[in-house]
Structure 1
Amino acid sequence: MNRTLKHVSLSKLALCGGAVVATAAVSLFGPGLGRVKAALQDSPKAVLDEAWQIVNREYVDDTFNRVDWQQVRQRLLDKSYSSREQAYTALRKELEKLDDPYTRFMNPKQYEALTNQTSGELSGIGIRLEVGEKTKALTVVEPIENSPALKAGIQSGDRIVSINGKQTQGMTVENASNLIRGDVGTKVSLEIRRDQGQPFVVSITRARIELATVRYSLKQEGKSKIGYIRLNEFSSHAADQMRRAIKNLQGQKADGFVLDLRGNPGGLLQSSIEISRMWMGDGAIVRTVDRRGKNEEISANQTALTNLPLVVLVDGNSASSSEILTGALKDNGRATVVGSQTFGKALVQSVHNLADGSGLAVTIAHYYTPKGTDISQKGIAPDVKIDLTEIDKQTLSSNPKLLATLQDPQYSRAVSVLEKILLAQPNRPTTGKQASVQKPQ
């Protein structure tokens, strides 16, 4: 029996990210097509044609940047390929003609890395590593919360002498991470040196670990209790983590919030919508337009978790889903935006898994802020503009502990803006209908 693909809204299907984030959107193979899929896996040309068909069907520009897309297919299928890599190279060259860096082919390893990234999970033991500046030793920055490493007693500052018997002297963090990661349920053996004590060996079983994309704390700044939340990426777990952060900070009697989106390259479109709804009681969030000119407007749905004053921090690396959230909060008067002009990515991608395990990211729509602004290549202008100097950037880069302190000029300005709002609205309600935010200049 044949099954037809039902219409799925962009908010359920599509992805938004910086230069690299995306995840699987559509499977091209229905029931009963297993033998066809198996045949495709052995044919580089079939995979090329599969990729061509997806672009032909979904790409946002139906002129394909004035490229004869039918002729592209003919060129791809007329060639002979001695290896998959040669076929992959040919496909990449043809995709470059679209002049769209976000529509791109990924080999199986790249595709797996990207889908793992947006899943917000990894298979490993859950530690953050660095090479000590003075010791040059592979060192644990911190074990991740609820991770196998934390449960095994691994501590910040522990030096890893060897991994499965392989000495780490001169090893990069990337190479060490590759050795430590592995299949869920398998074990890795770490030789640890702690302080000046003798080395000891710890055997840790790998597990699936949810990565923290949200970090938060309650900060006492003058007379104000400020709920500070930093969101690094819109992964599949970001909304749940944001929900916990807002509720916990409200439980600690925060007076207002600073939401830090600096450096956030984007991620899943649905995640940005869910998070927008946590801050907004009503109003439009984003409008998308596909190749056929079909508009879809996505709005808040009366599920806001807080009505407390909000300041959003952005910079030139705040992109895509970060800009959707920022644009929604700004255009609806829900937040004051502080920092630098954002990146300016107003395109939506879906990512497809191909028959041989490779992947294809395809731009499928353009998006606009609630007021109809096209931010493409322009970004969002903050309400209160403050750019970091080169000295500021070097200082914060060399000493990350200064981020989100009063020695961080953008955070410091965000605090002063929030304090002015709090002073102007001393009896602001914490529940009920969403109120507009006064925007000091």
Structure 2
Amino acid sequence: MEVAFVGCGVDGGGRHRHGGRTSTYVSVGTAAACIGVKAWKRVRPVACCEQSVKPCESEKRVEQREDQVREGWRRYCAALVLAALVWGNDVAGLAWDGAAAIRPRAAFALSEPQKLVAEAWRVVDQGYVDRTFNNQDWFKIRMKEIKKPLASMDDAYAVITEMLKTLGDPYTRFLNPSQFNSLTSSATGELAGVGLEMYPALVDNKLVVLSPIDGSPAFKAGIRSQDVITLIDGESTEDLTPDEAAARIRGTPGTRVSLYVIHASTPDKEVRYDLVRESLKIVSVKSELLPGNIGVLRIKQFNSSTPDDARAALEKLRAKGAKKYVIDLRNNPGGYFPAGVDVARLFLPKDKPVVFVVNKNGIQDEYDVLEEPLIADEPIVVLVNKATASASEILSGALKDNRRALLVGEKTFGKGVVQTVTGLSDGSGVAVTIAKYETPAHVDINKKGIVPDIESKCAEDEVLACLPKDF
């Protein structure tokens, strides 16, 4: 199964249109090859097979041509060498000794763990955006890794993890079955845990809380944004990725998990929390009408239901008399790429660009607005902070560059790359960076973030105090 996401562990699946055609996606993910958006501007339409282990393909299969020209002879020669290694120990004998040399000896049969390593390698090989693979011989790495004696799937997991680390990309990573299932649970907005969202990458090598889900066990206990988790059930988080930590924190409803936390407000003190896991439903959109006919749209993350939920919330606010709008994206880690695009379309004029995506072949796809917006002329302020990431930055950048909204707050996180998550044959998965994106003004925000129009620091539970006086 292949799923698409942009961000740090929160995404969804859904149905999205390419022009007049509908395709079905099963999607998760912080932190989209099957980018199911409604508009392509003179680009290839993309189709994705539901419940398929195949990568997404263009309908005309115009893919990897430059790579094939560049790499074809190298791989052809490597294949000949491999054939020699498989069918005989003497390469010269294979080449010159006629029929006697062709008789096979013991063939090199891959074990199941070795096959999984090869499968993970192939997923990365087909889609990874950096075709130099961090300036290394990716095919040589395959040959090296699949020859290692692997006694178990755990051995394969360790090899795949180390193999992907050589790419130097924190977002291209291996997910064991537990992590993959945990990520998939977030796809529909349903999960079992204590309600913590983590930053998409370690912050100064620390596991930092992005935000607790309102009303969750973590929220009720007092765990807040910017707190650092040091221990999970007595084990250090020092060497854990956010995905690994999330998999350990989540579990069966009714079971307990122990967390040691250093609060941002008391950095010299470590506090233990024993929390009971619950089944949680993530509500991605909330709204309220503030004095002055200001409609507030709070988006906590982007999943498959977010565009419809946002539209419904905006319609209710307008019915209540809203004359201007605030979109609160603070502590929003991102999520499902198409949802960020579709929410932007609720505010932008027809034919305006939302985002540009550049794939591994350097082909640039433009995502536009297909129809007139729901909110066409009313003033808009977007609240952002350093935890506004990924799909949230797509929305922020689209509204800023099209001069449709004023951005207020802190510089955003800076995640301008796109991933797919592909399920492997044993129930594990691989997240692969398959593209990067640019804002409508062709600004690459990756590792840079978006600078707001007005820099401001105000309490996360404040809205009116954050707004410009003339709004």
Are the counterparts in 1 of residues 10 and 187 from structure 2 also a CA contact under 8 Å? no
Indicate how the Cα distance of structure 1 residues 227 and 174 shifts in structure 2: closer, same or farther if over 3 A, else same: farther
Are the counterparts in 2 of residues 118 and 234 from structure 1 also a CA contact under 8 Å? no
Indicate how the Cα distance of structure 1 residues 88 and 376 shifts in structure 2: closer, same or farther if over 3 A, else same: same
Are the counterparts in 2 of residues 210 and 237 from structure 1 also a CA contact under 8 Å? no
Of 218, 226, 247, which residue of structure 1 is paired with 2:315?
Answer: 247
Matched, 1:367 2:437: yes
Indicate how the Cα distance of structure 1 residues 260 and 74 shifts in structure 2: closer, same or farther if over 3 A, else same: same
Are the counterparts in 1 of residues 329 and 383 from structure 2 also a CA contact under 8 Å? yes
- Deviation track 1:111-152 (CA, whole Å, cap 9, x = no partner) reads 11111113212479x973358669xxxxxxxxxxxxxxxxxx
- CA–CA distance in structure 1, aligned partners of residues 120 and 162 of structure 2: 13
Q: Give the 3-state SS of the residue equivalent to 2:134 in structure 1.
A: helix
Of 286, 289, 305, which residue of structure 1 is paired with 2:374?
Answer: 305
Q: Give the 3-state SS of the residue equivalent to 2:366 in structure 1.
A: strand
Matched, 1:273 2:341: yes
Of 400, 403, 408, which residue of structure 2 is paired with 1:330?
Answer: 400
2:231 corresponds to: none
Are the counterparts in 1 of residues 127 and 434 from structure 2 also a CA contact under 8 Å? yes
Are the counterparts in 2 of residues 19 and 102 from structure 1 also a CA contact under 8 Å? no
Report the alpha carbon displacement of residue 174 of structure 1 after superposing the two structures with TM.
7.4
Are the counterparts in 1 of residues 9 and 335 from structure 2 also a CA contact under 8 Å? no
TM-score, normalized by length of structure 2? 0.62
Residue correspondences, number: 320
Report the alpha carbon displacement of residue 168 of structure 1 after superposing the two structures with TM.
11
The structure with the largest helix share of the pair is 1
| Runs of 4+ deviating beyond 6 Å | 131-134, 166-174
Q: Which runs of 5+ in 1 are unaligned?
A: 1-11, 31-41, 135-162, 182-208, 389-395, 397-401, 407-411, 422-441
- CA–CA distance in structure 1, aligned partners of residues 189 and 274 of structure 2: 18
Report the alpha carbon displacement of residue 258 of structure 1 after superposing the two structures with TM.
0.6
2:466 corresponds to: 413
- CA–CA distance in structure 1, aligned partners of residues 9 and 257 of structure 2: 32
Indicate how the Cα distance of structure 1 residues 20 and 91 shifts in structure 2: closer, same or farther if over 3 A, else same: farther
Matched, 1:214 2:285: yes
Q: Give the 3-state SS of the residue equivalent to 1:288 in structure 2.
A: strand
Are the counterparts in 1 of residues 419 and 435 from structure 2 also a CA contact under 8 Å? yes
Matched, 1:387 2:412: no
Q: Name which of structure 1's ranges 94-103 and 233-242 shifts more when overlaid on structure 2.
A: 233-242
1:156 corresponds to: none
Are the counterparts in 2 of residues 216 and 228 from structure 1 also a CA contact under 8 Å? yes
Q: Give the 3-state SS of the residue equivalent to 2:146 in structure 1.
A: helix
- Deviation track 1:9-65 (CA, whole Å, cap 9, x = no partner) reads xxx9742113776459662269xxxxxxxxxxx812111111100111110011001
Q: Which runs of 5+ in 2 are unaligned?
A: 12-27, 35-47, 56-110, 196-214, 223-252, 261-271
Q: Give the 3-state SS of the residue equivalent to 1:357 in structure 2.
A: coil
- CA–CA distance in structure 2, aligned partners of residues 20 and 123 of structure 1: 13
Of 170, 174, 185, which residue of structure 2 is paired with 1:105?
Answer: 174
Q: Give the 3-state SS of the residue equivalent to 1:279 in structure 2.
A: coil
- CA–CA distance in structure 2, aligned partners of residues 173 and 112 of structure 1: 25
2:384 corresponds to: 314
Give the share of equivalent positions with the same residue, in percent. Answer: 37
- Deviation track 1:192-244 (CA, whole Å, cap 9, x = no partner) reads xxxxxxxxxxxxxxxxx752111111111xxx111111111111121121111
- CA–CA distance in structure 2, aligned partners of residues 297 and 236 of structure 1: 21
- Deviation track 1:144-172 (CA, whole Å, cap 9, x = no partner) reads xxxxxxxxxxxxxxxxxxx97x9999998
- The letter of the residue matching 1:384 is I
Q: Give the 3-state SS of the residue equivalent to 2:276 in structure 1.
A: helix
- The letter of the residue matching 2:419 is Q
Q: Give the 3-state SS of the residue equivalent to 2:399 in structure 1.
A: helix
1:17 corresponds to: 7
Are the counterparts in 2 of residues 351 and 362 from structure 1 also a CA contact under 8 Å? yes
Alignment of structure 1 residues 18-33 onto 2, 5 Å: 18=8, 22-23=28-29, 27-28=52-53
2:295 corresponds to: 227
TM-score, normalized by length of structure 1? 0.66
Considering only aligned residues, what root-mean-square deviation do their CA atoms show, in Å? 3.2
Q: Give the 3-state SS of the residue equivalent to 2:346 in structure 1.
A: helix
Are the counterparts in 1 of residues 256 and 276 from structure 2 also a CA contact under 8 Å? no
- CA–CA distance in structure 2, aligned partners of residues 279 and 170 of structure 1: 41
Q: Give the 3-state SS of the residue equivalent to 2:217 in structure 1.
A: strand
Q: Give the 3-state SS of the residue equivalent to 1:370 in structure 2.
A: coil
Q: Give the 3-state SS of the residue equivalent to 1:262 in structure 2.
A: coil
